[in-house]
Structure 1
Amino acid sequence: MSIDKSWTTLDRRSDEFWFGLSAFIERCKDHMTNDGLCRCPCERCENLEWQSLQKIQLHIHSHGFSEHFPIWKFHGKPVVLPIEHSIPQTRGQLHDFLADVRQETHDYEHTTRIDDPMNTTQAPSTNDELDELLKLADLELYPGNNWISSLEFLARLNHLKATSKWTNTSFDGLLSLLKFSMPKQNTIPVSHYDAKKILDKVGLGYQNIDVCKNDCCIFWGDHLKDEVCWKCSESRWIDKNTTGTKVAHKVMRYFSLTPRLKRLYNSRHTAKDMTWHATGQCTEVGKMHHPVDGTTWKGFDKRYPDFASEPRNVRLGLAADGFNPFGNMSVSYSMWPVILTTYNMPPWLCMKESTFMLTLLIPGPKSPGRDMDIFLRPLVEELKSLWSCGVKTQDASTNTTFTMRAMLLWTINDFPARSSLSGWSGQGYLTCPTCAKDTPSCRVHGKTAYVGHRMYLKVDHPWRQSLSFDGKIETRRPPKKKTRKTILAQVNRLPHHPPGKHPLFGGKKRKRDPKIELNWSKRSIFFELEYWPFLELKHNLDVMHIEKNVCESLLNTLLMHKEKSKDTNKARMVLKEWGIREELWLRKTKDGRVVKPHPKYSFSVQDITLFCQFIKGVGLPDGFGSNFSNKVTDNDSKLTGLKSHDHHIMMQRLLPLGVRAYLDSDMVDDIRHGKSSS
């Protein structure tokens, strides 16, 4: 008996469509899992998602029935095909991805000649592994189970292991129990080791690169087989005389970039998003929704039209920062991940955690500092190859082959990490990379202060004439923008200094020549990229990180934190030296005690308690932010444990409201204006 499908093309508001949909839902009851779920054939899910019958009915009525499935193999009579021509049944995105990659290998074999001079890639060598994975994607978990394959079961179980932080021992025990409790002839592996071997074929792997103990070099490329560092002559191994396996002092993990960029185009689920930037520009004048709307992107396109003419060429952003992997702040250890993101995608995807690509994992215990370039060498060499030669790539969305190229658009860091990547030191009198030698700085009581921000105001701005800032009238104009030729001239005349932290070589303290080097500590490795000097914006500062630092300083000053407040005795002494804000100067009593007048920008003791109680009583929607009641100490005197997003909520939402009852109106206005500018 044939199945009536004519209703799927009718008006979804008609009675005929509703009657056909109701009959289809009844048919779905014969194809449900034990959990009461069935594949949803709506235009959005396309049989990739499992939903309840109620949701399937709602989805089809809202989004329509997908036109991509003329044969109802999931909801009707199964299609019987000859065994020799059988086609693997689709089992979700994992299977689809494997099929796309398998198709890429097939197309490569039929379209690429070995002697082609444009062939800059090697033929894929994963046929046998992919064939095996495709078989696992269609293999039943146990006889009679047709709703989840063996491979999908392993993928989901390993995801639970990672998110729930199960140990390998507990995972082995779980697999043994599942193997014993499931029906006989099941395909569940007996150990974590066996499961990992299967899933490793899906992943892309990484490369272990040994590092000199003093960060002088990496044992890679021409120095892959060296036994000692060719800079400081230190041994590569912890115990060079051992008869067993030699262990290196430090090991860096490098995750190759090219295979993962190719994989974005190999899967039709991601390939269609990789050209969003070509049609997703903002149409509102003066607004920027995505880097494609910025002058850096547009300026690059104008200079390199051959790269811009292919919308599938990849633009990357690089972020790096240090963290303590042990979660114990008493242990001094800094490990640095280097992460890339793809700006071809729309903003809601390119900033999603699942699209971030970890490329380097730089070991500690100390941060790389100005030796960062030593660790970036493999990545930069790969970026140079992707820029000059490109790589043959199969686009699953159009079923065509093209030469994919890639470029690094900019980096995103906090200020200390920016110093490590750019080569411009973040310390000293010339810290500001924008002002450079014109940085307005001075020395006050053992600290370097930067107090010349008024020079960026308009010439007729009244604050320029005010003496309340530093006791002087500001007459300077903002510094001129540094040209490409000026920057290149500065970095090209820098003297060479040996890398590393060995006390006799790179780690030896030296005095910088301010006339020649300014505040440069090195020539950044990124200048080896052909296009890097021509980029208008090379290094971005992490706004959330800066906002966190500003909010911490503001909160500690408002709450009069004894150790972290910026309103210190030395700060009051500077006010007296500059002859400004006399009401805040330190006073001496008759008995010789030093008294610090209470400022109007800090809370009183009673107001601190009331403000903390206000924060404790704040209720936020689910998923909007942390539970602030847990961030207030028991005595209602401090806020602790705030994360970057918590500080963002504090600056944008809570502080402008919370301080109104306890500070003067002019102080409240200053905080509100600071909030709007952040």
Structure 2
Amino acid sequence: MDKSWINDPNILSSHYKSGLKDFIEFAKTNGMGLDGKLFCPCRRCRNSKRKSISQVESDLSEKGFCMYYKNWVFHGEPFSAHSYMSSGKNNNLDEDGVGGETDFINEIVYNDFDMNENGESDELPDLLDEIRNAHESGTSSEWDSKNFDKLLNDAQRELYPGCKKYSLLRFIVSFLHIKVMNHVTNKAFDMMLEFLKDVLPEGEILPSSFYGAMKILSGIGLGYQKIDVCKFDCALFWKENEKMDKCPICKESRWKVNNGKKKKVPNKVMWYFPLKARLQRLFMSSKTTEDMRWHEEKWVKEEGIMRHPADSIAWKDFDKKYPDFTKDSRNVRLGLATDRFNPFGNMSNSYSMWLVILVPYNLPAYKFMRKEFLILSLLIPGPRAPGKELDVFLRPTIDDLKDLFHGISTYDAYSGQNFQMRAAILWTISDFLAYGYLSGWSTSGYKACPCCLDDTASQRLRGKICFIGHRRFLNHNHRWRKQKAHFDGTIETRSKPKEFSGEQVLRHLNSLAGVFGEFGKNPVTRKKGVDKIQGNWRKKSIFFELPYWEKLSMRHCLDVMHILKNTCESLVATLLNIPDKTKDTNKSRDDLLDMGIRHELHLHDDGTRKTKPPALYVMSSSERKGFCDFLSSIKFPDGYAANISKCVKDGKLMGLKTHDYHVLLQRLIPAGIRGYLCKEVNEAIFE
């Protein structure tokens, strides 16, 4: 049967439509199930879903035919290894059926491995195709002939003598997919494998454990490297330190006390997921490769509107400074994010593991934040935060990024050719705590602001440091600058703090060479105290090793999610006067007394008890009820936000998520507080 219509790029052409009719007739006769349904071979479903004939025909008309499905084994055509090699880039493979088996496993990987939580097939790269292309071109150092031959061997081995349906590789991929989709533990997986080994006929070659199954899949590139770390985070036992038994900085032993055991156990281990191969994989599927050009070739940009990072000033500034990088739209722009999490799900446990994730911004805005495309780079063990020693753990990632900026040879499945892929970090994203770990400027103390640096306006009040003086960021003719009574009792005449470029920061850090000392938390060797001449600097960030880092207009970004949620929670708690959550406490009133301002808000002390005068920004009980009734009456379009009416209980908001707080702050509060608070308070909140 003629199959050339499958590769027709125009699915509206008469050639494609006539070929589609022939396929539907063939499938009706040979591939129809008892339920009257067929596997849908469209580019979205890829034989992972059974649908009616009309649905299959509709999907193929709208989305096109899956390009990898050359042999219609799901629709009645007998399996033939050679028929998989009938067209395109596969023609140059052997005539012995090896290529056909590889493409057959390609299909298994697509249908059984790359599926999302809804059971739908995601458009992820073809891992086996990647290995084959790297093997053929000889340009990728990540894969060698040994991995390729081993994988092909596993793809051809019968699971047990006489088994024609499943090869070893196909079974492992399918079984691991079931494990992941159903959250099966490693222990349960081992028990099921042992049971299957007992059930299957003699001669089966099934691995006996999860570890053995993962070893079989290691050639696909889903592996990681375990890197031993000094007990006090001084250094990695990696590269030149790999064979050392003691830390090169603090001389602490690499190993735990063995108690007579022969096997040495390291004190601490970090997991590193190699970056180069994962970025190359994005170009091993023709679909994701096309998406990697989206920001340049398909994105419609409008002046003054930001809907994708490509619209940002930082992105455009990078393009101007590095035009050679910009010439090829396939070069990857990345964001680096880090945060901590509790791997045990017990918030009372102080253990915190840190992860580092890279985000490829070349993709469309609706894709690059999907979990399928987030690239996990590091897993840093706890139990405490890494602090300034985060640079020690980032060493493998930074080394990869330095190589990637100069370029590595990569196969492009869309064009069918190799190209020099380059990659660069545009900025980091973190909360305020991790901001200090990444930038090297401590985010605690009197000079905590990493933008104002030594010009940070701060003042110590009762038991805390208060950051004031924000009116200095207003225009010089703004009326709030002269309003003493409404603020801290002074007229603001200062200009906003000076902004420092990356070059200026780097020059200052270079002048402090030798002040910071070595990394590490060893109480014996770590430097005591902080030298006053270095201000709040704790280190020279490892990111300055990247050749472009000092020239970036914006190097570090704060995670808006945390800031917006905390701001909205504090604002609502203060307006509604929620006990234990409001910021209008007795201590804050005493702070006003110490500063000598807002006399009408000072606590009244009659000798027996202290009373707190009502403030303009706190609602009365009737106003709180009216505001909560307003929130309860709001109806949102499906999927826009949570049903806030169910979250309002006894004058409190409970169970809201981050996006709900965003909607509350941006849309509901400005409308809901009108008529309840005075003009001055409303104006400040609205602005």
Please indicate the TM-score interval, normalised by the length of the shorter structure. Answer: 0.7 to 0.9
**Structure 2 vs 1, CA of residues 608 and 443 (structure 1 numbering), >3 Å: closer, same or farther?**
same
SS at match of 1:92: helix
User: Does structure 2 conserve the Cα–Cα contact (< 8 Å) formed by 1:40 and 1:49?
Assistant: yes
Matched residue, 2:151: 130
Structure 1 position 530 matched with structure 2 position 540: no
Q: How much has 1:533 moved relative to structure 2?
A: 0.5
- Partner of 1:552: helix, strand, or coil? helix
Comparing 422-431 with 189-198, greater Cα deviation is found at 189-198
Q: Distance in 1 between matches of 2:10 and 2:222?
A: 46
Instruction: Spell out, residue by residue over 1:113-136, the C-alpha distance to the aligned partner (whole angstroms, 9 max, x if none).
Output: xxxxxx987755422133135547
Distance 2:399 2:171 in 1: 38
Matches within 5 A, 1:397-546: 397-467=414-484, 468-494=486-512, 495-506=515-526, 508-513=527-532, 516-546=533-563
Alignment of 1:655-674 (within 5 A): 655-656=669-670, 659=673, 667=681, 670-671=684-685, 673=686
* Structure 2 length-normalised TM: 0.82
Cross-structure match for 2:240: 222
Match of 2:236, SS state, is: coil
Residue 356 of structure 2 is aligned to residue 328 of structure 1: no
Of 32-41 and 61-70, more deviation after overlay is shown by: 61-70
1:337-348 equivalence runs, <5 A: 337-348=355-366
Letter in 2 for 1:129: K
Quote how far apart the aligned CAs of 1:18 are.
11
Match of 1:298 in 2: 316
Contact 1:271–1:397 (CA under 8 A) maintained in structure 2:
yes
The answer on whether the counterparts of 2:135 and 2:143 sit within 8 Å (CA) in structure 1 is: no
Deviates more, 1:26-35 or 1:431-440: 26-35
Please name the residue that 1:52 is paired with. Answer: 51
Supply the distance in 2 between the matched residues of 1:444 and 1:472 (Cα, whole angstroms). Answer: 17
Structure 1 residues 47, 595: closer, same or farther in 2, change over 3 A?
A: closer
In the alignment, structure 1 segments of 5+ residues that lack a partner are: 113-118
Q: Could you tell me which residue of structure 2 aligns to residue 205 of structure 1?
A: 223
TM-score (norm 1): 0.83
**Structure 2: tracts of 5 or more residues without a match:** 84-94, 111-124
Q: Deviations over 1:200-256 (max 9, x none)?
A: 443431111111111111111211111122222221111156332111111111111
Match of 2:117 in 1: none
- After alignment, is 275-284 or 409-418 more displaced? 275-284
- The one-letter amino acid paired with 2:658 is S
Shift of 1:551: 1.8
- Cα displacement string for residues 578-625 of structure 1 (whole angstroms, at most 9, x for unaligned residues): 444333221123x53110123343344566677668767877666555
Deviation at 1:17, TM superposition (A): 7.4
Q: Does 1:647 align with 2:653?
A: no
Q: Return the letter of the residue paired with 2:530.
A: K
8 Å Cα contact 1:237/1:247 also seen in 2:
yes
- Report SS of the residue matched to 1:316: strand
Aligned equivalents of 1:256 and 1:291: distance in 2?
A: 25
1:595 to 600, 611, 618: 611
Gap change, CA 1:158 and 1:530, over 3 Å in 2: same
Aligned to 2:386: 368
CA distance in 1, matches of 2:21, 2:343: 53
SS at match of 1:349: coil
Find the aligned partners of 1:406 and 1:11 in 2 and give their Cα distance: 35
The residue matched to 2:237 in structure 1 has which SS?
A: coil
Change (3 A) 1:22 1:134: closer
* SS of structure 2 residue aligned to 1:443: strand
Find the counterpart in structure 1 of residue 404 from structure 2. Answer: 386
More off after superposition, 148-157 vs 576-585: 148-157
Give the secondary structure class of the aligned counterpart of 2:366: helix
- Amino acid aligned to 2:107: G
Residue 364 of structure 1 deviates from its aligned partner by: 0.7
Amino acid at match of 2:150: E
Q: Answer whether contact 1:133 1:201 (CA < 8 A) is retained.
A: no
The residue identity in structure 2 corresponding to 1:425 is S
Alignment check: 8 A CA contact 1:105 1:124 kept: no
* Cα distance change on mapping 1:94 and 1:434 into 2, 3 Å: same
Q: What letter is aligned with 1:31?
A: G
Q: 1:176 to 1:333 in 2, by over 3 A?
A: closer
Q: Secondary structure at the match of 2:372?
A: helix
Other-structure match for 2:109: 94
SS of equivalent residue, structure 2 residue 340: coil
What SS does the corresponding residue of 2:367 show, helix, strand or coil? helix
Q: Report whether the alignment pairs 1:108 with 2:126.
A: no
Q: Which residue number in structure 2 is paired with residue 31 of structure 1?
A: 31
Give the conservation status (yes or no) of the 8 Å contact 1:317–1:342. yes
| 1-structure distance, mates of 2:477, 2:568 | 31
The AA in structure 1 aligned to 2:109 is L
Q: Deviations over 1:53-92 (max 9, x none)?
A: 1421332454567899898675475586769554346563
Corresponding letter in the other structure for 1:355: F
Instruction: Tell me, in whole angstroms, the C-alpha distance in 1 between the residues paired with 2:244 and 2:657.
Output: 44
- Following TM superposition, by how much is the alpha carbon of 1:355 offset from its aligned partner in structure 2, in angstroms? 0.6
Query: Structure 1 pair 620/565, CA: closer, same or farther in 2 (3 Å)?
Result: same
The corresponding residue for 1:550 is 567
Paired residues for 1:245-284 under 5 Å: 245-284=263-302
Q: What is the alpha-carbon distance in structure 2 between the residues aligned to residue 338 and residue 614 of structure 1? A: 42
C-alpha change, 1:10 and 1:267, in structure 2 (3 Å) is: closer
Q: CA–CA distance in 2 between the matches of 1:532 and 1:82?
A: 51
CA contact (8 A) 2:130 2:284 kept: yes
Give how far 1:530 is off.
Answer: 1.1
Secondary structure of 1:530's aligned partner? coil
Change (3 A) 1:352 1:4: closer
Q: Rate the CA distance shift 1:320–1:81 in 2: closer, same or farther, 3 A.
A: closer
With 154-163 and 63-72 compared, the bigger mean Cα shift is at: 63-72
Contact in 2 for aligned 1:615/1:628 (Cα 8 Å): yes
**Residues 106 and 199 of structure 1: CA distance in aligned 2, closer, same or farther (over 3 Å):** closer
Give the C-alpha shift of residue 422 in structure 1. Answer: 0.4
1:283 match: secondary structure: coil
CA RMSD of aligned residues (A): 4.1
**CA drift at 1:367:** 0.3
Partners of 1:619 and 1:152 in 2: CA distance: 49
User: Quick one: distance in 2 between partners of 1:240 and 1:189?
Assistant: 30
| Residue 115 of structure 1: aligned partner | none
Cα deviation digits, residues 31-74 of structure 1 (max 9, x gap): 145776534355x5485553411421332454567899898675
- Within 1, Cα distance between the matches of 2:206 and 2:675? 64
Return closer, same or farther for 1:246/1:627 CA change in 2, 3 Å cut-off.
Answer: farther
Structure 1 stretch 611-620 or stretch 364-373: which is displaced more? 611-620
Contact 1:282 1:293 in 2 (8 A): no
Q: 2:593 aligns with which of 569, 576, 585?
A: 576
Structure 1 counterpart of 2:114: none
Residue 337 of structure 2: aligned partner:
319
Q: 2:372 aligns with which of 330, 350, 354?
A: 354
Against the structure 1 CA distance between its residues 287 and 174, is the aligned structure 2 distance closer, same or farther, given a 3 Å change threshold?
A: same
